[in-house]
């Protein structure tokens, strides 16, 4: 099939490359000439495991091309897949300016039937907006050309996007015209050979499905983080709790890990956009507001632990940070907990040395040259003369350190583990003070005193009753 992908950001790059890898003829459009030049040479502007190999392979095979020519891109594919960014606006709603621009570009250049596919994460009702824009442009041109609008949300995890695209749990298609549904089925036919993964539904349900999925996952994370904070207060271990509830098949183990908060390009933005949609219809989404509030607070938990241990004035203190990306497998630092922690340390006068396997360049891009920010080539190098180690991303390379070497390099033998990588007892046995999330803590807890009615409890009257 001939497919056009509009936008060469994260979703567009992965979708275009993977569709080409299935044998399709894919042309990707982007208005940034520097990005297109890099891609045409086989380079990749983002970090995603395996993506560079897929791009190079399909460019060499002639199945994948990149262009800045709008007319060429519209003429190329019967399927026009819009995969542009939808950043948060000032009020939290999704900014659709790039989706609107893409729809106008298609309408101004199309000369035959097109299936316009919303691949970007967009609010409910976006397909109606796209359809209206395209029809208005066609009317202004004085032409009658058939077209269809389809919602086809992506469910790609950063760090595992190639695997997610090639082995999807489900493929959601929101469409109402049989011609468009047939073409979408044809495009996704290679995924249907084992069992039917394709779900055809109305467009608005498809648009809401994407937001609902991310909202559910974010809710599970914030729920566990709130329980983790309670676990610390009462002297419980959140990891034991996680295993206890995860064994229930109705709950499962996924997305139940307590930590220092979620980030990235999807969850924070999509939670805010979904809340805004609720407000527009007079229906405040109270659970999602709580999810967001808990997450915002959770990103500050490590700072609270650090100041409880070292004091609020951190002038003269130096900390080592392992992990900068919001999750392993990516260099994405959007809404990352590392940013909250670093900026909080700097505000209190501390300096930091950081290490991340892939996000160092992105860190420098965000913060530039600072005298209170230093970079280390290895995790151990980051520890030299630091007052404590702070772990913010659960990279595999951090999970089995040489604790003797860690102790030798740290000024104080203290670890703040924002991702619960280690068993507290094992670290403490090594002579290291350990502060996890919802786990064993050196600070003693105190069970609240029993209420008055319990103190005056009359067991004899209960037996008699």
The one catalytic residue among 18, 28, 260, 266: 266
Indicate the helix (H) or strand (E) that contains 363: helix 360-367
Is residue 166 within 8 Å of 18, Cβ to Cβ? Answer: yes
Strand partners, 391: 322, 417
Q: How many CB atoms lie within 10 A of CB 142?
A: 6
The set of long-range contacts for 383-386, using a CB threshold of 8 Å and a minimum separation of 24, is 383/320, 383/353, 383/409, 383/410, 384/320, 384/353, 384/409, 385/318, 385/409, 385/411, 386/318, 386/319, 386/320, 386/353, 386/410, 386/411
Closest CA to 66 of 85, 47, 49, 45: 45
Q: What share of the chain is helix, strand, coil (3-state, %, to 5)?
A: 45, 15, 40
Measured torsion, CA atoms of residues 73, 197, 329, 14, in degrees rounded to the nearest 10: -10
CA dist 201 and 198 (Å) reads: 10
CA dist 229 and 397 (Å) reads: 27
266 belongs to the catalytic site? yes
* Catalytically annotated residues: 266
């Amino acid at each position: 099939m001939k497919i056009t992908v509009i936008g060469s950001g994260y979703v567009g790059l992965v979708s275009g490359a993977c569709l080409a890898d299935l044998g399709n003829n894919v042309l990707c459009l982007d208005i940034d000439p520097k990005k297109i030049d890099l891609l045409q040479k086989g380079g990749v502007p983002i970090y995603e495991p395996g993506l560079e190999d897929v791009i190079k392979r399909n460019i060499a095979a002639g199945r994948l091309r990149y262009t800045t020519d709008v007319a060429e891109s519209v003429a190329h594919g019967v399927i026009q897949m819009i995969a542009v960014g939808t950043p948060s606006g000032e009020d939290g709603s999704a900014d659709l300016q790039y989706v609107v621009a893409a729809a106008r570009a298609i309408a101004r250049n199309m000369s035959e039937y097109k299936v316009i596919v919303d691949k970007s994460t967009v609010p409910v009702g976006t397909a109606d907006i796209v359809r209206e824009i395209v029809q208005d442009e066609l009317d202004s041109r004085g032409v009658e050309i058939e077209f269809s609008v389809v919602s086809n949300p992506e469910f790609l995890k950063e760090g595992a996007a190639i695997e997610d695209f090639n082995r999807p749990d489900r493929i959601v298609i929101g469409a109402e015209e049989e011609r468009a549904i047939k073409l979408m089925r044809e495009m996704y036919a290679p995924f249907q050979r084992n069992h039917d993964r394709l779900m055809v539904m109305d467009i608005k349900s498809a648009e809401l499905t994407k937001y609902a999925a991310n909202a559910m996952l974010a809710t599970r994370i914030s729920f566990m983080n709130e329980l983790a904070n309670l676990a610390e207060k009462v002297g419980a271990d959140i990891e034991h709790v996680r295993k206890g509830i995860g064994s229930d098949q109705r709950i499962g183990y996924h997305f139940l890990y307590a930590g220092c908060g979620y980030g990235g390009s999807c969850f924070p933005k999509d939670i805010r956009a979904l809340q805004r949609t609720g407000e527009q219809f007079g229906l405040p989404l109270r659970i999602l507001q709580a999810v967001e509030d808990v997450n915002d607070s959770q990103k500050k938990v490590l700072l609270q632990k650090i100041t409880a241990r070292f004091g609020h004035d951190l002038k003269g203190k130096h900390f080592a940070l392992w992990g900068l990306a919001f999750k392993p497998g990516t260099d994405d630092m959007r809404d990352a907990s590392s940013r909250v922690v670093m900026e909080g340390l700097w505000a209190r006068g501390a300096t930091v040395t950081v290490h991340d396997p892939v996000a160092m360049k992105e860190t420098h891009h965000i913060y530039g040259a600072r005298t209170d920010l230093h970079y280390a080539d290895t995790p151990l190098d980051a520890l030299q003369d630091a007052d404590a180690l702070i772990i913010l991303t659960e990279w595999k390379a951090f999970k089995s350190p040489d604790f003797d070497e860690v102790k030798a390099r740290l000024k104080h033998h203290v670890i703040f583990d924002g991702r619960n990588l280690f068993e507290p007892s094992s670290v403490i046995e090594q002579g290291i003070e350990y502060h996890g999330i919802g786990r064993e803590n050196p600070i003693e807890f105190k069970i609240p005193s029993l209420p008055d009615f319990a103190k005056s409890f009359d067991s004899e009257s209960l037996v008699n009753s």
